[in-house]
Amino acid sequence: MRLLTKVSCSLIVCLVIGSVALAAKNDEDRFAPLKRFSQVMDLVENHYVKPVTRNELIDGAIVGMLQQLDPHSSFLSKEEFKEMQVSTSGEFGGIGIEISMENGRLTVISPIDDTPAEKAGLKAGDVILEIEGQPTQDMTLIDAVQKIRGPKGKPVSLTVIHKDQQKPFKVKVVRDTIPIISVKSNEVEPGYLYIRLTRFNENTTAELNQALADYRKGGKQLKGVILDLRNNPGGLLEQAVNVADVFLPSGQIVSIKGKNPDQEKVFSAKGDGADLASPLVVLINSGSASASEIVAGALKDHKRALLVGEKSFGKGSVQTVIPLSDGSGIKLTTALYYTPNGRSIQAEGIEPDFMVPLQDNGADGDKLAANHQFRERDLSRHLVNKRKKKSESDDPKQKLLDQLARDNQLKLALELVKYFPIKTYKP
């Protein structure tokens, strides 16, 4: 018995020692590359021509680490972390553009409707070379955002080059208060409601439901809806799910899949949407990204809507903002999202049912047509998939009718919603 006890104890000791040795080896393997990092940091601190702090070097290293992953992962300083909160709530002073960094080049994803940027002629795919004479090549994305934003009425000078052109130009854009109003609507013909979603923020679904309710006041019959997602750069995932839920009676809207199986999430319709019974046509183009693509993909897969326009941007990745202990944070790509039919649209986009390039007919057409080529796949390290003229009238409905006369995509959408059989449901 004593022999058995001694053998058992010896075995346990061997197992413990082996486990400790294995853990020590794993730690050594894990931290070995950090020796090289520490060596470089010491060399920079001791020999670089200008004084630098260790925190500056570490922050820069983290920035570089995340930039190597994909175009949407980034480091957020304390100030930048707070700045992020502004983009989806309230209002701010700025010019009204959605931007991203591409190889150190500040690139316009989409101008926001009726903002100084749009009125100044900035277009999707434009590269901003300088802000107030300062080159943007070495700026972080949030640095650039902070320089562009500022007090209402104060101009900001930009040097810009259009995509596929070689000659840059300078433009002064006067900042304004950018209210984040995401839904505009008007009757395009009796019984047919045009709804424009400019982005997906905290209030988008509520504003959409209000637009539908306002139209029905007084007993108006809603015969069809045109949902315009062109040049909508996206926004909050939750709002995209809720917007799709307005039109879907049941079924999956989107699923999210990360590295680990336990990260998968499925979002489905609740069946209590405000508009299940109206025929629906959705307009998309290459400026329709992220949350816009969730809505368009879900409505297409369920055959609830016809899609008209051009292939969407193709941003099918999910970013998670993770706070760090010192008040800074990281924005990290943690998953890809999939349409109800299981398709990832990452770098591929959503194909419309009716592929209709926008004809160059002036005014709004100029703005939209210039945005048709710039997509997610144009960004380096993207994740691979296994100047507007105003109508003379200030009346919103007249502006829409003027647009209808010029906009061949909208014109086709109206014909389809009126005459083409589209799946609807009894409320």
Length of the chain counted residue by residue: 427
Strands (E), 58-147: 74-76, 91-94, 97-102, 105-111, 127-131, 134-135
Query: How far is residue 271's CA from residue 274's CA, in Å, rounded to a whole number?
Result: 9
- DSSP for 390-403 reads PPS---HHHHHHHH
Could you confirm whether 78 is annotated as catalytic? no
CB-side neighbour CA atoms (13 Å) of 383: 23
301 is catalytic: yes
Provide the phi-psi class of 121: left if phi over 0, else alpha when psi is between -120 and 50, else beta: left
- Within 13 Å of residue 205, how many CA atoms lie on the same side as its CB? 19
Which of 119, 123, 315, 331 is the catalytic position?
315
- CA nearest to 390, candidates 128, 114, 148, 46: 114
Amino acid at 159: T
- Tokens describing residue 391: 């109508």
Choice among 74, 286, 290, 344 that is catalytic: 290
The C-alpha atoms of residue 76 and residue 94 are separated, in whole angstroms, by: 20
Instruction: At 67, list the tokens.
Output: 């930039």
Task: Tell me if 353 sits within 8 A of 307, measured CB to CB.
Answer: yes
Query: How does DSSP classify residue 119?
Result: H
The one catalytic residue among 126, 301, 364, 402: 301
- 290 is an active site residue: yes
Single-letter code of the amino acid located at 195: I
Question: What span, in angstroms and rounded, lies between the C-alpha atoms of 242 and 245?
Answer: 5
DSSP β-bridge partners for residue 280: 225
Q: Which residues are catalytic?
A: 290, 301, 315
